[in-house]
Structure 1
Amino acid sequence: MSAVFAFLLRTIGIGGCAFLALYVYDWGLPGASRIPYLSSIPIIGDLTTGRAHSYAADQVRIATASAKAQCEARMEKTVAAFQYDALAAQLAEERRRRAIADSLAAGAEQRADEALKAKAKAETDLENRIAADTDPDGGRWTEEDGRWNEKR
């Protein structure tokens, strides 16, 4: 490696070596940026990709991160709005079903009250009919009824 530097120093001089070193530092080695992971090595990456290309790559990375953050923020806001709308629709549906259930329960309660009133009226009517029965047997089984039942 030092032989190459000595040859370049003798051939193009100190000024040429300085120019070549600044050129490589600024623009990198041609074709070296296509080697995978070479640019991720700290010092060698700067020499191979060059300051201009690494600066541009950093700016692209910063702009991409900023755009990605804005996009994710919009996406989160959209998702939050969607979730809010979905929850509002679910709440409205549950309220509608609750109103239906309440009306059905009120109807059932009213029918139960009417059934109890009808039962009480039927019992009262039965008691009145029993009290009004003036037959001499008093509405009980008689011997005649028993004989008739045996023939059956």
Structure 2
Amino acid sequence: MTVFFTWLLRTIGIGGVAFLGLYIYDWGIPGASRIPYLSSIPILGDLTTGRAHSYAAEQVRLATSQMVTKFERDAIAAQLSEERRRRLIADQLTTEASKRADAALRAKSEAEAELEARIAADTSPDGGRWSEEDQQWDGRR
């Protein structure tokens, strides 16, 4: 390896080696990014993929994470509005049901009061008063 570097240094000089090193650092080694798991090695991965490709990959990751966040936020907002709509419907139905229950309770109280009044008005000794219609249906009388 040192033989290669000394040959390269003699051939293109220190400026050429510096330029080549910075170019590889910035853009990476062509084709090396296709090797699986090579880019995940800390220093070697930066040299093989290059700073520009690493930055681009990071920007893509950030953009997609924000898109997922925006999608999730929109989905949660839609779910919240649907739950609020259902809650409003449930509140309206509860109010109507309580009004019907109050009306039924009043009707029951009125019916019980009417029955108590009819029972109190009955003064016959046998505990019941026959109307003419009842006597028509009774075959014994």
Classify the TM-score, shorter chain.
Answer: 0.7 to 0.9
Q: Which has the larger radius of gyration?
A: 1
Change (3 A) 1:24 1:111: same
Q: Deviations over 1:69-97 (max 9, x none)?
A: 33333222222211111111111121222
Please give the root-mean-square deviation of Cα atoms over the aligned residues, in Å.
Answer: 2.5
Aligned to 1:86: 86
Q: Does 1:119 align with 2:115?
A: no
TM value normalised by structure 1: 0.69
Q: Does 1:74 align with 2:99?
A: no
How far the C-alpha of 1:128 sits from its partner, in A, is: 9.8
Q: Give the partner amino acid of 1:116.
A: E
* Aligned pairs for 1:95-134 within 5 A: 95-122=95-122, 124-126=123-125
Q: Deviations over 1:108-152 (max 9, x none)?
A: 121111121122222x233899xxxxxxxxxxxxxxxxxxxxxxx
- Identity, % of aligned positions: 45
Residue 126 of structure 1 aligns to a residue whose secondary structure is coil
* Aligned pairs for 1:1-152 within 5 A: 1-122=1-122, 124-126=123-125
> How far apart in 2 are the matches of 1:79 and 1:71?
12
Q: Give the partner amino acid of 2:87.
A: L
Aligned to 1:150: none
Q: Which moved more, 1:31-40 or 1:96-105?
A: 31-40
Give the aligned length: 128
> How far apart in 1 are the matches of 2:30 and 2:127?
117
TM value normalised by structure 2: 0.74
Q: Which structure 1 residue ranges, 5 or more long, are not aligned?
A: 130-152
Q: Give the partner amino acid of 2:82.
A: F
Q: Deviations over 1:39-66 (max 9, x none)?
A: 2333222111111111111222222233
Q: Which moved more, 1:2-11 or 1:110-119?
A: 2-11
Q: Which structure 2 residue ranges, 5 or more long, are not aligned?
A: 129-141
Q: Give the partner amino acid of 1:38.
A: L
